[in-house]
Every structure is written in C-alpha cells, then in structure tokens.
Amino acid sequence: MNTQIKSWLAIATLLASASSQAMVNVSFERDVELLAVNGKALSAFSTAPSKVELDNGPNQLVARVSKLVSYNGEFKKFLTYPVVLTFDISDADIDVSAGRVIIRDDQIKGFDKKPSLKVTMNGRAYTDFHQGLLPRGTGIVRDYERELLTYNVDNGFAVEEKTRPSINYQSATAVTTSSTVAQATESPVSAGNALILLQADFLRLPEQQRATFIKWANQQ
C-alpha cells in the first residue's frame, strides 16, 4: 500500500471518529420518562427510550419522574409535573435522574407538583442548563407541543426547529435528530376541527368511560 493511500485512510479514519463523537448522548434513569424532544412529543402509546442521541448545540427535552411508590404498603403509580430541560452543549455524554429519591409516599412532600431533575456529565454534577415546569394548557389532554410553544415564548427561548426524531420503539434505546432544519408539515386536519372531532367522540362515550378518560387525561 503506497504512502498516499495510507494517508487517505488515516484521514478517513479520523473523520469517521470525529463524526461518531459529534453528538450529545443523553441517558435517563429508569424512573425518568422522556415526553418530548426538541418540540416534538413522543408517542403516548409506546415505551419511552432510555437513551437519546442529539445533535450538538441547543436542545430541549421534556421529562417527568414516573415510578411506583409505596402508599402504606400498596404500590401506586407516582407521576410528577413535566420538567423542561434546555441546554446548549456539544460532544458530551450526560445522565438525567430524579432530583430526589422517593420510595414511600411520605417522601413526596410536594415533589409531584414541584419536581426537579438532576443532570450529570462524566459522573459530575452539571448545572449549565435551564429547567422549569411545563404549565398545563387548557385542553382535556395535554398537548406538549403547544404547551412548549407557550413556554418558550414566556421564557425567551428560540429553539431551533428540527426534523421529526426517528425513534425505534422496539429497542427503546435511541432517538436521533437530524441537523437539517426543516419546515414542519401541515396537518391535514386543522387544530380547531381536531378539537371539535375530539369533543364529539368524547360526548358519544358512556358516562363511565368518560370518567375513566378524564381520570387518565389528568394523569398525563
């Protein structure tokens, strides 16, 4: 193999190595549930991934603490309000965990309504990011995408719009966002018409199913 070919192979290897590291890897503790990535809500009917891969630069995640907690020996699902994490980092591995360890109901002490998330980088606490509660909108079911728009306006964030994340829910381990900025495609049904259809479907439900639906919606 001549010297020129060796040089090209060496350069190609370096470029490939740099490319593979040019991202932000985010891992989530088992009790932290990812809800949205860069303004795009994840499917409510699939298991949230435990790890995501993001482009370098500004990113925004929505997550909450979701776990079983002992209430006098009976385990019940514990959910906190959603928390928005906004950060701007490159070429890093970070871990997201609950801001408090909760095993029993007497340890909650308002954490469900005022939760916090802890971020570590290389095993050390990382604080150069913004976190805040995501206020609930006026709909029956939470609309994280619409709520995030309001949140970002209120907090002065201009989050770069990115293409829809591709998610492999079967392995539930990775989410990759594209660095290409793309204009969001228009929905074939307007928001107003969608709300009317949702209300009509809701009114057609039997009273017991309505109560069950409202209870589920309030937990989201």
For residue range 68-89, list pLDDT tens digits in order: 999 999 999 999 999 999 999 9
Task: Please report the DSSP string for the chain in residue order.
Answer: --HHHHHHHHHHHHHHHHHHHSSEEEEE-TTEEEEEETTEEPPTTSPPPSEEEE-SEEEEEEEEEEEEEEETTEEEEEEPPPEEEEEEE-SEEEEEEESS---BGGGTTTTTTS--EEEEETTEE---SEEEE----SSSS--HHHHHHHHHHHHT--PPP-PPPEE-TTTT--EE--SS--PPPPPSS-HHHHHHHHHHHHHHS-HHHHHHHHHHHHT-
Q: Are residues 156 and 195 in the same domain?
A: no
Domains contained in the chain, number: 2
Pick the range with the lowest mean pLDDT from 8-12, 149-153, 173-177. Answer: 173-177
Q: Are residues 213 and 157 in the same domain?
A: no
Q: Are residues 132 and 37 in the same domain?
A: yes
Mean of all residue pLDDT scores within the chain: 78
Q: Are residues 163 and 116 in the same domain?
A: yes
pLDDT of residue 139: 85
pLDDT at 163 over 60: no
pLDDT of residue 202: 60
pLDDT at 3 over 70: no
The verdict on residue 122 lying in a domain is yes
pLDDT one-digit tens code per residue, 9-60? 454 444 444 444 569 999 999 999 999 999 999 988 888 999 999 999 999 9
| Structure token digits, residue 69 | 């907690």
Q: What is the pTM of this model?
A: 0.66
Containing domain of residue 208, as a range? 189-220
pLDDT one-digit tens code per residue, 184-207? 333 444 555 555 556 666 666 666
Q: Are residues 97 and 33 in the same domain?
A: yes
Q: Are residues 197 and 154 in the same domain?
A: no
pLDDT of residue 157: 85
